[in-house]
Structure 1
Amino acid sequence: MADIFDEVEEDLRRARFETLWKKFWPVIVGAAVTVVFVVGGWRFYDHLQAQRSAAAGARFESALRLSRTSGTEAEAQFAALAAEAPSGYRILARFRQATELAVRDKPAAAAAFDALAADAGIGPVLQDLARLRAAYALIDSAPPAELTRRAEPLATADGSFRHSAREILALAALKAGDRPAAERWIKAIQDDRESPQGVRGRADLMSTVFSASGS
């Protein structure tokens, strides 16, 4: 008897399924086709992006090699990448283009780094790096006050580039003949346990020169 009831219930389920299928099969099939197209399109987009990234990476490496022998040509290649490459390589290319430009035209390089610093799309860390590179580009030509204006905001206790910024500030103070300010920034470098060895070594050298020259 139980088997009969089971068979009846199975028939009812099958009938309900057939009714629902006849009613909704266009929707179900349409949804399935949409999913297939969306997944396929996304994978194709990923494939194209991977190809573009690989091609940009190869061009970037080629420009880096070229920079060892012909900075002007490398600068042109980096400029092309900055205009055409995917976003990651575009940012790298803009930095490298400005770096190559600094070899022949430091004010123009500083302007290129300033443009990067003003671009919120690259993120605050890279913006600060661009500000630092702009200050370095001008270190031999800008007035001490200009170098101080550029570097001091980067020299905070938690700044990512505080060590290099403090070194620029010490050099700017020396350039201005402001020995107390130079000593203050040198001490800030020496007191910071995270100061890189190179920056610390140059600060120690300046401190030794100060000690030898007397007050």
Structure 2
Amino acid sequence: MSEFFDEVSEEVRREQLKQLWDRYSIFIIAVALLVVAGVGGWRAYQYLEGQKAADAGAAFNKAVELSDQNKHAEAEKAFADLAGRAPSGYRMLARFREAAEAATRDKQAAAKLYDELAADHSIGGEQQALARLRAAGLLVDTASYQDMKQRLEGDTGAGAPFRHAARELLALSAWRGNDAAAARQWLDMIALDGETPPALRSRAEALQALLPPVAKS
């Protein structure tokens, strides 16, 4: 008798499953197809992104070779082209290299390119700070101390990644502008920072020696 009931129960379950399949099979198949399509699409996306990165890497290396051959105009053009179409990582590197190549012909134009990088929050704070420093380095001989201070003062605080170089540029700019008090301010910061690189500390001490003595009260 128990076997009979087991057979009945099994038949009922099969019938229920059949009814469920008849009712929902189209949705099950659709979901399965979507899953397959999604996995296939993701794989295709990964392949295409990998191919783009490989192509960008090859183009970047060719542009570097042009630069190494002192073909700066061609290198600048190649980096500019790459900056417009490469994936984000290579795009940022290409923009920095484009600015560096532009500096060989026109420092003002190069500083403008660095300023554009400095204003681009998508590249990250540290890279923005580097761009500000590069622009200031190109302009230190021509820009006023106030302009340099506006550019770099925010990068001179404790813990700022490029504070040492920023302080040095500001000290040099102040000295060029005959502002001994401002120059001494930045040189003192350099001297008091225990993490100042030795070479930079030596340059700061040399510049300190060029300043007029502090007037005695």
The alignment's TM-score, normalised by the length of structure 1, stands at 0.90
Paired letter, 2:99:
A
3-state DSSP of counterpart to 1:30: helix
Once residues 190 and 4 of structure 1 are traced to their aligned partners in structure 2, the CA distance between those partners, rounded to angstroms, is 96
Paired letter, 1:113:
Y
Once residues 38 and 195 of structure 1 are traced to their aligned partners in structure 2, the CA distance between those partners, rounded to angstroms, is 53
Once residues 197 and 102 of structure 2 are traced to their aligned partners in structure 1, the CA distance between those partners, rounded to angstroms, is 27
Alpha carbons of structure 1 residues 8 and 192: separation in structure 2 relative to 1, 3 Å: farther
Once residues 22 and 5 of structure 2 are traced to their aligned partners in structure 1, the CA distance between those partners, rounded to angstroms, is 26
Once the two structures are superposed, what CA deviation does each residue of 1:44-90 show, in whole Å capped at 9, x if it has no partner? 01101110111101111121122122111111110110112112211
| CA-CA distance at 1:3 after TM superposition | 4.0
After superposition, residues 124-143 of structure 1 pair within 5 angstroms as 124-143=125-144
Once residues 154 and 74 of structure 2 are traced to their aligned partners in structure 1, the CA distance between those partners, rounded to angstroms, is 35
Moved more, 102-111 or 113-122: 113-122
Once residues 62 and 178 of structure 1 are traced to their aligned partners in structure 2, the CA distance between those partners, rounded to angstroms, is 46
The alignment's TM-score, normalised by the length of structure 2, stands at 0.89
After superposition, residues 8-157 of structure 1 pair within 5 angstroms as 8-69=8-69, 70-157=71-158
* CA RMSD, 1 decimal: 1.9
Moved more, 120-129 or 82-91: 120-129
| CA-CA distance at 1:17 after TM superposition | 0.9
Once residues 198 and 73 of structure 2 are traced to their aligned partners in structure 1, the CA distance between those partners, rounded to angstroms, is 33
Percent of matched pairs sharing the same residue: 46
Once the two structures are superposed, what CA deviation does each residue of 1:154-206 show, in whole Å capped at 9, x if it has no partner? 11223222111111111111112222322221221222233334333322333
Once residues 198 and 2 of structure 1 are traced to their aligned partners in structure 2, the CA distance between those partners, rounded to angstroms, is 94
